């Protein structure tokens, strides 16, 4: 079992490490037996169908309905919990290393966020690489965000996982610093295992190489190249780790300890804290990338989603 941080870091209020429950450990051991033979094999556009099939197996949340729509000119899916705050919305940006993923495949997972946050949530089908490289996807998610504001929502939060976490954190900084930010500033942001450094400079890409059951360095390098094209990976619009984090809305980040992206989360939150942001990091020991997709089977997933839901409900209140 790996340890995510030095003992000194445990004493910092912005950092929480959660030990794995025995039942979760047993589940993860069985999961590894199934997935590790295919480690690193999802490559290029050919992997899209397989990736969507994986995400489509996430169980649906109770009391959530779904419908297609277009927001800000970008098509996608609404996740609509029966109980929801009026005037509030979440924009969730799906994962898939910028090359894979659809709103339809993600709607069950996002439904759990929507239900716990008690907020209607829109998942846009932003353009994917390599057909539409950086910054096409970013432009689409910004258009969707502005579309939500134009619909009259009084409070909008951002959420995202993996590559979607990257887009959420980039958009958060972009809206906070833009000349017309004013009423456009998001209420909060949540990221699950975000990709924050496209230079792939985090130490965990090596130290967690064996622990991560899904991804390899060479696989990730190819996916990042497909997304960036000739763009600079240290551009803050590509890598939120290198952006100006001052003045951001509250941020919460959840990450598994057994993933090569661990340091992307830790370094981002540390920088946000230094910039004066209300930011917190939760590290879940013994679980891999995308662990919240095991909601209903893994207590860590349920706990992380519960924490996120509570946080977003507080930040999205429109009656204060």
Burial of 59 (0-12, 13-18, 19+ CB in 10 A): middle
Name the catalytic one among 92, 94, 112, 289: 289
Listing DSSP states for 205-237 in one string gives HHHTTTT-SS--HHHHHHHHHHHHTTS-TTSTT
Q: Is 204 a catalytic residue?
A: no
Q: Which residues fall within 8 angstroms of residue 253, CB to CB, at 6 or more apart?
A: 165, 190, 191, 192, 194, 265, 268, 269, 279, 280, 281, 282
Closest C-alpha to 316, from 34, 78, 69, 120? 120
Q: Is 206 a catalytic residue?
A: no
DSSP code at position 82: S
Q: Which residues fall within 8 angstroms of residue 314, CB to CB, at 6 or more apart?
A: none
What is the C-alpha separation between 129 and 131, in angstroms, rounded? 5
Name the catalytic one among 119, 259, 263, 294: 259
| Alpha carbon distances (Å) from 189 to 115, 186, 311 | 17, 7, 10
Name the catalytic one among 162, 193, 204, 239: 162
Q: Which two tokens stand for residue 122?
A: 């829109």
Q: Is 162 a catalytic residue?
A: yes
3-state SS, residue 27: helix
The catalytic residues are 162, 259, 289
């Amino acid at each position: 079992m790996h340890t995510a941080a030095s003992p000194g870091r445990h004493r910092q209020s912005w950092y929480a490490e959660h030990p794995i429950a025995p039942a979760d450990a047993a589940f993860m051991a069985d999961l590894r037996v199934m997935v590790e033979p295919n480690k690193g094999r999802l490559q290029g556009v050919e992997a899209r169908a397989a990736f969507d099939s994986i995400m489509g197996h996430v169980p649906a949340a109770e009391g959530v309905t779904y419908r297609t729509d277009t927001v800000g000119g970008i098509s996608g899916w609404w996740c609509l919990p029966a109980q929801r705050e009026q005037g509030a919305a979440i924009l969730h940006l799906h994962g898939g290393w910028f090359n894979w993923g659809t709103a339809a495949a993600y709607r069950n997972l996002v439904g759990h966020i929507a239900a716990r946050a008690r907020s209607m949530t829109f998942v846009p089908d932003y353009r994917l690489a390599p057909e539409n490289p950086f910054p096409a996807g970013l432009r689409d998610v910004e258009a969707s965000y502005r579309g939500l504001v134009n619909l009259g929502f009084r409070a909008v939060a951002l959420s995202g996982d993996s590559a979607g976490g990257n887009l959420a954190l980039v958009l958060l900084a972009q809206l906070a610093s833009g000349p017309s930010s004013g009423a456009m500033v998001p209420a909060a942001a949540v990221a699950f295992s975000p990709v924050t450094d496209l230079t792939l400079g985090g130490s965990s890409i090596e130290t967690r190489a064996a622990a991560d059951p899904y991804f390899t360095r060479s696989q990730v390098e190819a996916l990042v190249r497909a997304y960036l094209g000739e763009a600079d990976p240290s551009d803050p619009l590509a890598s939120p780790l290198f952006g100006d984090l001052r003045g951001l809305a509250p941020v919460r980040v959840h990450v598994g300890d057994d993933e090569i992206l661990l340091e992307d989360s830790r370094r981002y939150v540390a920088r946000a804290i230094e910039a004066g942001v209300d930011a917190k990091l939760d590290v879940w020991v013994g679980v891999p990338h995308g662990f919240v997709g095991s909601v209903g089977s893994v207590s860590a997933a349920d706990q992380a989603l519960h924490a996120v839901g509570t946080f977003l409900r507080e930040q999205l209140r429109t009656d204060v």
